[in-house]
Structure 1
Amino acid sequence: MGENSESVSGQLEAYCRVRRQSEMLCKPLTVEDYVVQTMPDVSPPKWHLAHASWFFETFILVPYVSGYRPFDVRFHPLFNSYYQGVGTPFPRDRRGLLSRPSVVDIYRYRRHVDEAMTELMERLDDRAENRDIHLLIELGLHHEQQHQELLLTDIKHILGNNPLVPVYAEDRFAEEEEVPVPLRWIKVQGGETAVGHDGNGFCFDNELPRHRMRMNEFLLANRLVTNVEYLEFIDDGGYANPLLWLADGWASVQREGWQAPLYWRKMDGAWRYFTLAGEEPLTAEEPVCHVSYFEADAFATWAGKRLPSEEEWEHAAGTAGLWPGNYLESGRFRPQAALTGEGVLQLGGDVWEWTQSAYRPYPGFRPWANAVGEYNGKFMCSQMVLRGGSCATPESHIRKSYRNFFYPHNRWQFMGIRLAQDT
Structure 2
Amino acid sequence: MKNINLAVSVLPEKQVLYAKYLTVRGYSEELCRPLEIEDYVVQPMADVSPPKWHLGHTTWFFETFILIPHLPNYQVFDDEYNFVFNSYYETIGSRVIRTDRGNLSRPSVADIYNYRRYVDKHMIEFLDAEFLTQNLVDIFVLGLNHEQQHQELLLTDIKYILGHNPLFPPYSKEIKSAEYANHDREYVRFKAGIYEIGFEGQGFCFDNEQGRHKVYLDDFEIENTLVTNKQYLDFIQAGGYSDFQFWHAEGWDWVKKHQAQAPLYWHLIDGKWMIYTLNGLMDIYLEAAVCHINFYEAAAYASWRGMRLPTEAEWEVSADHISWGERWEWTNSAYLPYPRFKKEAGAVGEYNGKFMINQMVLRGASIATPKGHSRKTYRNFFQTAHQWQFTGIRLAR
Q: TM-score range, shorter-chain basis? A: over 0.9
Q: Is the 8 A contact 1:309 1:357 kept in 2?
A: yes
- Paired amino acid for 2:354: K
Question: By how many angstroms is 1:8 displaced?
Answer: 3.1
Q: Deviations over 1:69-126 (max 9, x none)?
A: 1100111011000000110121000100000000000000001110111111022466
Question: By how many angstroms is 1:7 displaced?
Answer: 3.7
Q: Is the 8 A contact 2:24 2:147 kept in 1?
A: yes
Quote the residue 2:5 is aligned against. Answer: 2
CA RMSD, Structure 1 to Structure 2 (Å): 1.6
Quote the residue 1:262 is aligned against. Answer: 264
Quote the residue 1:21 is aligned against. Answer: 27
Question: How many angstroms apart in 2 are the aligned matches of 1:374 and 1:199?
Answer: 25
Which of 42, 45, 48 aligns to 1:42? It is 48
Which of 217, 226, 229 aligns to 1:227? It is 229
Which of 358, 375, 389 aligns to 1:399? It is 375
Q: Is the 8 A contact 1:4 1:135 kept in 2?
A: no
Question: By how many angstroms is 1:173 displaced?
Answer: 4.6
Task: Summarize the Cα distance change of 1:101–1:407 in structure 2 as closer, same or farther, 3 Å threshold.
Answer: same
Q: Is the 8 A contact 1:35 1:98 kept in 2?
A: yes
Quote the residue 1:197 is aligned against. Answer: 199
Quote the residue 1:119 is aligned against. Answer: 125
* Aligned-pair identity (%): 51
Question: By how many angstroms is 1:380 displaced?
Answer: 0.3
Q: Is the 8 A contact 2:177 2:279 kept in 1?
A: no
Quote the residue 2:74 is aligned against. Answer: 68
Q: Matches of residues 264-413 of structure 1 in structure 2 within 5 Å?
A: 264-317=266-319, 319-320=320-321, 344-345=322-323, 347=324, 349-413=325-389
Q: Matches of residues 242-261 of structure 1 in structure 2 within 5 Å?
A: 242-261=244-263
Q: Is the 8 A contact 1:205 1:368 kept in 2?
A: no
Q: Matches of residues 82-93 of structure 1 in structure 2 within 5 Å?
A: 82-93=88-99
Question: How many angstroms apart in 1 are the aligned matches of 2:170 and 2:156?
Answer: 14
Question: How many angstroms apart in 1 are the aligned matches of 2:396 and 2:174?
Answer: 32
Task: Summarize the Cα distance change of 1:286–1:293 in structure 2 as closer, same or farther, 3 Å threshold.
Answer: same
Q: Deviations over 1:184-210 (max 9, x none)?
A: 211123312111111320000110111
**Alignment of 1:106 onto 2:109:** no
Instruction: Give the match's secondary structure for 2:263.
Output: coil
Further displaced range: 110-119 or 180-189: 180-189
Instruction: Give the match's secondary structure for 1:419.
Output: coil
The unaligned stretches of length 5 or more in structure 1 are 321-343
Task: Summarize the Cα distance change of 1:173–1:154 in structure 2 as closer, same or farther, 3 Å threshold.
Answer: closer
Question: How many angstroms apart in 1 are the aligned matches of 2:17 and 2:219?
Answer: 42
Question: How many angstroms apart in 2 are the aligned matches of 1:200 and 1:233?
Answer: 43
TM-score under structure 1 normalisation? 0.90
Question: By how many angstroms is 1:174 displaced?
Answer: 7.1
Task: Summarize the Cα distance change of 1:124–1:190 in structure 2 as closer, same or farther, 3 Å threshold.
Answer: farther
- Paired amino acid for 1:137: F
Q: How many residues align?
A: 390
- Paired amino acid for 2:295: Y
TM-score under structure 2 normalisation? 0.95
Task: Summarize the Cα distance change of 1:238–1:405 in structure 2 as closer, same or farther, 3 Å threshold.
Answer: same
Q: Deviations over 1:217-258 (max 9, x none)?
A: 210001100000000000000000111100111111111111
Q: Deviations over 1:271-323 (max 9, x none)?
A: 00100100001110000000100000000000000000001000001x42xxx
Quote the residue 1:207 is aligned against. Answer: 209
Quote the residue 1:137 is aligned against. Answer: 140
Quote the residue 1:184 is aligned against. Answer: 186
Question: How many angstroms apart in 1 are the aligned matches of 2:210 and 2:157?
Answer: 29
Question: How many angstroms apart in 2 are the aligned matches of 1:134 and 1:121?
Answer: 9
- Paired amino acid for 1:34: Y
Runs of 4+ in 1 over 6 A off after TM superposition: none
Question: How many angstroms apart in 1 are the aligned matches of 2:227 and 2:34?
Answer: 31
Task: Summarize the Cα distance change of 1:86–1:173 in structure 2 as closer, same or farther, 3 Å threshold.
Answer: closer
- Paired amino acid for 2:298: A
Question: By how many angstroms is 1:9 displaced?
Answer: 2.5
- Paired amino acid for 1:407: Q
- Paired amino acid for 1:131: Q
